[in-house]
Amino acid sequence: MSVFGQGYPIISGSLGNVSLEHSELNYDFFGVDVVEHISVITGHKTYPYSRNRSTFEVDVLLCKYTGSGESSSLAKFNDILKYKNQYFNFYPHNDWSASVDVYNAPIEMYITKFVPYYLNDDTRYDGVVLTIEPRKNSVLKIKQPTGYGTMYGLDYGYTGW
């Protein structure tokens, strides 16, 4: 059993649940979020450190969904696409609970990058890479299996936007 859980990720929100059985999940719990400032007068660029931001990168292999109807690759693509401009709860593994903050409130996530790609076929997408980030700056509490304790990641403050 993995320290971070096992099983496939799930996107859950007002539009229903989307299970991503054939996917690979990569974590970056302490990704740096840097803001570029350019002086209007001199053009000088500075890059002040903003905060740590947790990101999840999910590579969904649509070519593995070979059924028809709701189990087809096109149906899975459309299920994921409907969450492109929506906020949702993200379950990194189906045997976990949703990502929560220190107050045990679910953290709303959104898709910042939606990149479909071709792998085996030039007429339909074979996969899509999703980058999922939290909506607001909050401390992510990761629930780990019993015996591993609790790990805190994401940001050091919970200051809103």
Q: Is residue 64 part of a domain?
A: yes
- pTM value is 0.69
Q: Which domain holds residue 69?
A: 10-154
**Which whole number is the average pLDDT over 42-68?**
79
Confidence of residue 154 (pLDDT cuts 50, 70, 90): very low
The CA distance from 144 to 93, in Å, is 11
Q: Is residue 5 part of a domain?
A: no
**Which whole number is the average pLDDT over 21-48?**
78
Question: ∠ at Cα 70 (79, 64), nearest 5°?
Answer: 80
* Residues 88 and 11 sit within 8 Å (Cβ to Cβ): yes
Q: Is residue 3 part of a domain?
A: no
pLDDT at residue 147 in the model: 46
Q: Is residue 130 part of a domain?
A: yes
Q: Is residue 160 part of a domain?
A: no
The CA distance from 66 to 58, in Å, is 19
Secondary structure of residue 86 in the 3-state scheme: coil
β-strands 150-154, 100-101: how paired? Answer: unpaired
**Residue spans of beta strands (DSSP E) within the chain:** 10-13, 16-19, 23-34, 37-38, 45-46, 49-61, 89-91, 100-101, 109-117, 127-134, 139-143, 150-154
β-strands 23-34, 150-154: how paired? Answer: unpaired
More confident residue, 37 or 147: 37
Looking at 32-41, 104-113, 120-129, 139-148, which range is the least confident one?
139-148
Number of structural domains found in the chain: 1
Confidence of residue 146 (pLDDT cuts 50, 70, 90): very low
Q: Is residue 135 part of a domain?
A: yes
CATH for 16 = 2.40.30
pLDDT at residue 87 in the model: 92
Average pLDDT, the chain: 75
Q: Is residue 15 part of a domain?
A: yes
Q: Is residue 159 part of a domain?
A: no
More confident residue, 124 or 84: 84
